[in-house]
A and B are shown apart, each in its own frame.
Chain A
Amino acid sequence: MQRTKGYPEALDKKLADTRLFEDERHPDFTKTVEEISMTIPHMCYQCGTCTASCPSAPRSSYRIRKFVRRALLGLEDESLTDPDLWLCTTCYSCTDRCPRDIAPTDVIMAMRNLAARRDIIPVNFLKTVQAIYTTGHGVPNNDVNRAARKKLGLNPEPPTTHGFPQYVKGIQYILDYFGLKDRADRIVKEREG
Chain B
Amino acid sequence: MHEYAFFLGCIAPNRYPGAESASYKTSEKLGIKLLDLEGGSCCPAPGAFGSIDLNIWYAMAARNLVLAEQMKKDIALICNGCYKSIWEVNHKLKKHKELREGVNEVLKGVDMEFKGTIDVWHLAELFYDPKICGLQKIRDSVTVPLEGTRIAVHYGCHLMKPKKERHFGSTEHPYWIEEMVAALGAEPVEYRNKMLCCGAGGGVRGYDLVHSIDITNEKMINLKEVKADALTEVCPFCQLQFDRGQIEIEEKFGVKYGLPVLHYCELLGLAQGMSPQELALDLHAVSCEPFLEKVL
Task: Determine direct contact between A and B, CB below 8 Å.
Answer: yes
Which residue of chain A has the shortest Cβ distance to B17 in the bound complex?
Answer: A149
In angstroms, Cα B8 to Cα A136, docked, is: 12
CB distance from A94 to the nearest CB of B (A): 9
Beta-carbon contacts under 8 Å, A108-127 to B: 109-110, 112-113, 116, 121-122, 124-127
Q: A55-B199, A96-B171 are in contact. Are A148 and B17 (CB under 8 A)?
A: yes
Q: When the two chains form their complex, are residues B280 and A151 in contact, meaning their CB atoms are under 8 A apart?
A: yes
- List of A residues within 8 angstroms of B215 by Cβ: 55-56, 59, 89
Residue among B17, B38, B161, B278 making CB contact with A164, cutoff 8 Å: B38
Within 8 A of B (CB), among A144-193: 144-145, 148-149, 151-154, 158-164, 166-171, 173-175, 177-178, 180
Q: Is the CB of B48 within 8 A of A89?
A: no
- Interface residue B292 (Cβ < 8 Å from any Cβ of A): no
Q: Which of B60-115 contact A (CB under 8 A)?
A: 60, 63, 106-107, 109-110, 112
Out of A90, A92, A180, name the residue touching B52 (CB < 8 Å). A180
Chain A nearest CB, measured from B283 CB (Å): 6
Q: Let me know if A87 and B208 touch, CB within 8 A.
A: yes
Q: Would you give the shortest CB distance from B214 to chain A, in whole angstroms? A: 5
* Interface CB pairs A-B, < 8 A, 30: A55-B199, A59-B215, A88-B204, A89-B199, A89-B201, A90-B157, A91-B197, A91-B201, A93-B195, A109-B50, A109-B51, A112-B50, A113-B53, A122-B206, A124-B207, A127-B206, A128-B48, A129-B49, A129-B52, A136-B42, A139-B11, A139-B14, A145-B14, A148-B18, A160-B39, A164-B38, A164-B39, A166-B39, A167-B41, A180-B56
Cross-chain contact B14 with A137 (CB below 8 angstroms): yes
A138-B44 contact in complex given A159-B36, A161-B39, A174-B63, C-beta closer than 8 Å: yes
- Asked, given contacts A91-B157, A145-B17, whether A167 binds B197 with beta carbons under 8 Å apart, the answer is no
Measured as residues with beta carbon below 8 angstroms from the partner, the interface class of chain B is: 35 or more
B292 → chain A closest CB, angstroms: 17
Given contacts A56-B211, A122-B207, A137-B14, A159 and B53 within 8 Å (CB-CB):
no
Specify which chain A residues have a CB less than 8 angstroms from the CB of B21 in the assembled complex.
152-154
Assembly CA distance A15 to B63 (angstroms):
50
Say if the beta carbon of B116 comes within 8 Å of chain A.
Answer: no
| Given A55-B196, A96-B171, A177-B106, residue A91 in contact with residue B161 (CB < 8 A) | yes
Q: What separation, in Å, do the CA atoms of A92 and B207 have in the docked complex?
A: 19
- A80 at the B interface (CB under 8 A): no
* Complex Cα–Cα for A110 and B57 (A): 13
Known contacts: A88-B204, A158-B14. The answer to whether A116 contacts B41 by CB under 8 A is no
Flag if A109 contacts B13 (CB, 8 Å): no
Check B52 against A121 for contact (C-beta < 8 Å): yes
Please pick, from B162, B172, B211, B283, the residue contacting A92 in the complex, using a CB distance under 8 A: B162
* A68 CB within 8 Å of chain B: no
Known A138-B42, A170-B63, A174-B110; judge A88-B202 contact (CB<8 A): yes
Measured between alpha carbons, how far is A176 from B276 in the docked complex, in Å? 43
| B162: chain A residues within 8 A (beta carbon) | 92, 95-96, 103, 105
Residue of A nearest to B14 (CB): A141
Q: Which residues of A contact B13 (CB under 8 A)?
A: 141, 149, 158, 160, 162
Let me know if B163 is at the binding interface, CB within 8 A. yes
B260 within 8 A of A: no
CB distance from A99 to the nearest CB of B (A): 13
Determine whether the beta carbon of B15 is less than 8 Å from that of A139: yes
A140 is an interface residue with CB less than 8 A from chain B: yes
What is the CA–CA distance of A132 and B44 in the complex, to the nearest angstrom? 8
**B200 sits at the interface (CB 8 A):** yes
Q: Does B59 make an interface contact (CB < 8 A)?
A: yes
Interface residue A60 (Cβ < 8 Å from any Cβ of B): yes
Question: Scoring B residues 255 to 283 as 1 if CB is less than 8 Å from chain A, else 0, what string do you get?
Answer: 00000000000000000000001101001
Pick the most buried of B15, B36, B47: most chain A CB atoms within 10 A of its CB.
B47
Given contacts A96-B163, A171-B63, contact A113 B52 (CB under 8 A): yes
